[in-house]
């Protein structure tokens, strides 16, 4: 008999991102996960067997699909994999390991429910491990799992795993990572990836796949205060409707709302969802609202319940990951892209950078942020922006800095202050 829990698990989706230094075995782990969970098509497996040098298939080839990756032995961009078990569906963002591609992890982890960080048991926690943990903390990834790989090369010794797990847990905990799980594995031998290892009887926790199938992925967008960034204004037969995707919360007909940044207040007269009038709609539905009063509302405005408004401000402090080769310096003129709104801004100060090489401690007044640097930035925008703390809302608590001259994406930002909803 199928239980209610099993039925719910079968329909849930987990988005997770992998990260690890080069040669930590990330590609082999992903290949092992797909191979042992029988998520590979027979023609794919045949191609890998033909390309493998030895008798056994080189599982890393399952993920290193690009020629450049194979030639250099690295993953050079975020690659998305889709697979499923009887208990859950998965979207895996496979991010590169080299330090110069740390920014790619931001892309992969920004929507992830879980970050799977690898370390080589022989090397333990290294600078890149700390950098990956910092990115996961910056993006408020709810779950971080450390896979201590290549346990076969350290004799499957419990004390080796325990020391690495303790060091990483302490470091990630200081960064504010809410949930940390550590698992000893050998991706090459298949220990604790899908099947429990016969070589580590001292470990009583889940395998990687068991953990992925069981971990909570219940980001309840409906529990947060409602936020509707306006994408389009629809005019039909003299009626104006304001369309967009609800970023968080629930909107109801008759509810009093405020349009930001103007501050005008009205009530919701009707909600259209997929062509049907509905009494309420919740994130992440796309809807078109009709308001009770004729207000000047345009793309980029935000509609929110009057009783639970975001913080409206021009002075912004953000935790950032700089993505572009062009350094970010105090005095830089940028554009802020927040939801559907884009405004001019200036970088007033860069008070701190995070240095993973020094254990993640702050470097005061670094003078500039270079590509892949993490830090804190103070901005002044030309117009007020409605911001939530990132901890309360990933969608309205984050934004991008864009170069005004060529439109290049410069920096990923999360807000570190604002009015708690």
Give pLDDT tens digits for 127-184.
Answer: 888 888 888 888 878 899 999 999 999 999 999 999 999 999 998 888 778 789 999 9
Q: Please tell me the predicted confidence (pLDDT) of residue 220.
A: 63
Q: What confidence category does residue 35 fall into, taking pLDDT thresholds of 50, 70 and 90?
A: confident
Which string of b and e fits 122-161 if b means at least 16 CB within 10 Å? eeebbebbbbbbbbbbbbbbbbbbbbbbbbbebebeeebb
Residue with tokens 């001292």: 202
Backbone angles phi, psi at 397, to 5 degrees: -105, 15
Residue with tokens 């080189």: 58
Nearest alpha carbon to residue 410 among 323, 331, 307 = 323
Q: What is the mean pLDDT of residues 300-308?
A: 95
CA 54/CA 340 separation, integer angstroms? 52
Pull the structure tokens for residue 35.
């191979």
CA-to-CA dists, residue 294 to 241, 242, 288, angstroms:
10, 12, 15
Q: Please tell me the predicted confidence (pLDDT) of residue 359.
A: 56
Q: What is the mean pLDDT of residues 211-231?
A: 84
Nearest alpha carbon to residue 360 among 177, 181, 174 = 174
Residues 6+ apart with CB under 8 A from 169: 146, 180, 182
CA 73/CA 68 separation, integer angstroms? 8
Q: What confidence category does residue 363 fall into, taking pLDDT thresholds of 50, 70 and 90?
A: confident
Q: Interior CA angle at 391 toward 385 and 394, to 5°? A: 65
Residue 334, helix vs strand vs coil: strand
Entry pTM: 0.73
Q: What confidence category does residue 268 fall into, taking pLDDT thresholds of 50, 70 and 90?
A: very high
Q: What confidence category does residue 2 fall into, taking pLDDT thresholds of 50, 70 and 90?
A: very low
CA 316/CA 396 separation, integer angstroms? 13
């Amino acid at each position: 008999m199928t239980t209610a829990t099993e039925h719910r698990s079968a329909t849930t989706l987990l988005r997770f991102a992998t990260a690890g230094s080069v040669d930590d075995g990330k590609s082999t782990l992903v290949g092992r996960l797909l191979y042992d969970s029988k998520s590979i098509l027979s023609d794919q497996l045949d191609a890998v067997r033909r390309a493998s040098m030895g008798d056994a298939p080189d599982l890393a080839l399952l993920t290193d699909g690009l020629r450049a990756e194979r030639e250099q032995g690295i993953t050079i961009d975020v690659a998305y994999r889709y697979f499923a078990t009887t208990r859950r569906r998965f979207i895996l963002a496979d991010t590169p390991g080299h330090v110069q591609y740390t920014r790619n992890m931001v892309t992969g982890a920004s929507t992830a429910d879980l970050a799977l960080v690898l370390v080589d048991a022989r090397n333990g926690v290294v600078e890149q491990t700390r950098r990956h943990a910092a990115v996961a903390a910056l993006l408020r990834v709810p779950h971080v799992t450390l896979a201590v790989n290549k346990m076969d090369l350290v004799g499957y010794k419990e004390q080796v795993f325990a020391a690495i797990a303790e060091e990483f847990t302490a470091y990630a905990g200081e960064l504010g990572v809410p949930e940390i799980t550590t698992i000893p594995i050998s991706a090459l031998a298949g220990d604790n990836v899908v099947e429990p290892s016969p070589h580590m009887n001292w470990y009583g926790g889940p395998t990687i796949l068991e953990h992925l199938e069981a971990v909570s992925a219940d980001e309840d967008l409906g529990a947060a205060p409602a936020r509707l960034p306006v994408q389009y204004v629809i005019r039909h037969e003299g009626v104006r409707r304001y369309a967009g995707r609800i970023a968080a919360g629930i909107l109801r007909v008759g509810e009093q709302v405020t349009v930001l940044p103007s501050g005008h207040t009205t009530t919701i007269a009707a909600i259209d969802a997929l062509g049907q009038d509905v009494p309420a709609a919740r994130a992440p539905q796309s809807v078109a609202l009709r308001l009770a009063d004729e207000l000047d509302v345009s793309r980029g405005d935000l509609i929110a319940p009057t009783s639970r408004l975001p913080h409206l401000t021009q002075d912004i402090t953000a935790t950032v990951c700089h993505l572009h080769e062009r350094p970010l310096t105090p005095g830089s003129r940028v554009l802020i892209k927040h939801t559907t709104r884009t405004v001019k801004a200036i970088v007033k100060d860069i008070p701190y950078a995070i240095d993973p090489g020094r254990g993640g401690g702050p470097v005061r007044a670094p003078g500039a942020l270079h590509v892949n640097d993490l830090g804190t930035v103070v901005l002044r925008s030309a117009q007020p922006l409605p911001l939530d703390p990132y901890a309360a809302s990933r969608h309205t608590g984050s934004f991008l800095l864009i170069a005004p001259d060529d439109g290049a994406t410069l920096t990923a930002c999360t807000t570190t202050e604002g009015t708690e909803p």
